[in-house]
Amino acid sequence: MFVSRVLENDAVRCADSVPPSRIMGTGFSRDGGARKRSTQRNVTLFKIKICGITSVKDAQLVGLAGADAVGLNFFAQSPRHVDLETAQKLVSVLRPATKRVGLFVNSTASEINEIAEALQLDYVQLHGDEPPELLADLSARPIIRAFRFGEKGADDITRFVEGCGAGRLPDAILVDSLKPGEYGGTGEVADWEAVSNARAGLGEIPLVLAGGLTPFNVADAIAKVRPDAVDTASGVESRPANKDPMLVRAFVNAAKKAFQQLESETS
């Protein structure tokens, strides 16, 4: 279930529920700088994201399949890496309603801001070891902070959120599986029970579940973890960086049905 959140004068308080895919996010200045004082702002959060899009064909496929968002990977060491020129071609064929998410690993704030502006990204996803302080240097776009969920459980997430202090909080937390030396896209399944147990510690920050999700397990994952959104890359590929049309459509359909079931249970 999506929840709304209102940040006002740097204090967080609960608000009434709003329609699916809508949350109340943090506020920023009109010149694109990070907030000093929070104001009320609507942010659209996707539910189903297909990450690691590398071709025009796959970008069109994801939109036709009904996914809410695509992920563009700017991590040079990833098999799903795209450069700015390629990314511009990909976003040019996306449907207007499809959210654009840029994935970065340990990039500088200036690098992230430059690409985000050039592509008019809807979300910036930090998937490396970025410190809380970096968030304040990013532009006004919503931020997804990814964590590789392993033996430490939610400890890293807790420390990061605490490290934000009175500064800028992430607009969503993404939980991926942990594989030493890797920054996601491994196909390893996250520990759903552990993630579910850690969910309460996120407070009002929405949760995006990733890590080994496929058309065959995404419904179970949604039922057990009850995330706000799901994200997959390798789980819908015939080979690295190549999306399989049947798997993409099956994943989207399974996830949509599972989210509808959640909503019916909570309505």
**Degrees (nearest 5) of the Cα angle 200, 202, 205?**
125
Euclidean distance between CA atoms 73 and 70, whole angstroms: 10
Could you identify the residue written with the tokens 């410190």? 131
Q: Known catalytic residues?
A: 51, 176
Rounded Cα–Cα distance for residues 253 and 263 (Å): 15
Residue 24 and residue 225 in contact, taking contact as beta carbons nearer than 8 Å: no
List Cβ neighbours of 52 (8 Å cut-off, separation of 6 or more).
Answer: 71, 73, 78, 80, 185, 233, 234, 237, 241
End-to-end alpha carbon distance in the chain: 9
Which amino acid belongs to residue 240?
A: P
Neighbours of 151 (CB within 10 A): 8
If one counts every other C-beta atom within 10 angstroms of the C-beta of residue 9, the result is 7
Q: What is the CA radius of gyration of the chain?
A: 17
Angstrom distance (rounded) from CA 86 to CA 266: 42
In whole angstroms, give the CA distance from residue 56 to residue 39. Answer: 38
Asked if 170 and 208 touch (Cβ cutoff 8 Å), the reply is no
